């Protein structure tokens, strides 16, 4: 239990240091309504709240039978998930948001037990929907990449 609390406090201090570094950031230009520093500060705040709870909660988190064991299969699934997120990050600019999301999303859905057709349909609809939400509703431009010919 002490090790869990020490881990939480250490990460909480790292979050606080990152928040102090992110707070004064001002971009030379702002193409988003909230500016570029809101997202990292929001993520650090949410992470800090969770870590603060971990540091002061009354009992330790214990492993139950419902949780998957940290065996070879689970570690391979985690590694595949990280690799897919790296593929998404690497293809986000050149391919655009929608194709990169589809490219990473369908294998991610399959990794967690989704069937091919429902996975493809849901990922495609979510990719287009999230693009429209960010680009049109929230005025946060996302790259179209290969689909740039569809604009205007």
39-81 pLDDT, tens digit each: 788 888 899 999 898 888 877 666 666 766 678 888 898 899 9
Same domain, yes or no: 34 and 54: yes
Q: In the structure, what pLDDT confidence band is assigned to residue 147 with cuts at 50, 70 and 90?
A: confident
Residue 23 neighbours by CB under 8 Å, 6+ apart:
37, 41
Task: Provide the pLDDT for residue 106.
Answer: 94
Task: Provide the pLDDT for residue 27.
Answer: 66
Q: Could you tell me if 96 and 147 are in contact, meaning their C-beta atoms sit under 8 angstroms apart? A: yes
Q: In the structure, what pLDDT confidence band is assigned to residue 121 with cuts at 50, 70 and 90?
A: very high
Task: Provide the pLDDT for residue 117.
Answer: 94
Same domain, yes or no: 1 and 73: no
Mean pLDDT computed over 14-26: 85
Domain limit, last residue, from 16, 42, 62: 62
Q: Which residues of 77-110 are buried (b: 16+ CB within 10 A; e: fewer)?
A: eeeeeeebeeebeebbeebbbbbbbbbbbbbbbe
pLDDT at 89 over 80: yes
Same domain, yes or no: 86 and 146: yes
Same domain, yes or no: 83 and 23: no
Between 59 and 117, residue with greater pLDDT: 117
Among candidate residues 7, 18, 15, the one with its CA nearest the CA of residue 54: 7
Q: Which two tokens stand for residue 131?
A: 């693009």
The structural domain count of the chain equals 2
Same domain, yes or no: 58 and 129: no
Residue range(s) defining the domain that contains residue 108: 67-152
The answer to whether the predicted template modeling score (pTM) of the entire model surpasses 0.85 is no
């Amino acid at each position: 239990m002490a090790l869990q609390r020490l881990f939480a406090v250490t990460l909480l201090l790292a979050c606080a240091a990152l928040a102090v570094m992110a707070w004064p950031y001002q971009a030379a230009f702002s193409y988003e309504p909230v500016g570029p520093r809101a997202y990292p500060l929001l993520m650090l705040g949410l992470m800090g709240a969770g870590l603060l709870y971990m540091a002061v909660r009354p009992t330790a988190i214990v492993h139950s039978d419902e949780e998957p064991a940290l065996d070879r299969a689970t570690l391979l699934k985690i590694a595949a998930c990280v690799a897919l997120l790296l593929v998404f990050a690497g293809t986000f600019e050149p391919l655009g948001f929608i194709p990169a999301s589809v490219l990473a999303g369908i294998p991610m859905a399959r990794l967690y037990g989704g069937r091919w057709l429902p996975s493809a349909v849901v990922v495609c609809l979510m990719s287009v929907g999230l693009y429209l939400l960010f680009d049109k509703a929230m005025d946060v431009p996302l790259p179209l990449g290969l689909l740039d010919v569809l604009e205007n």
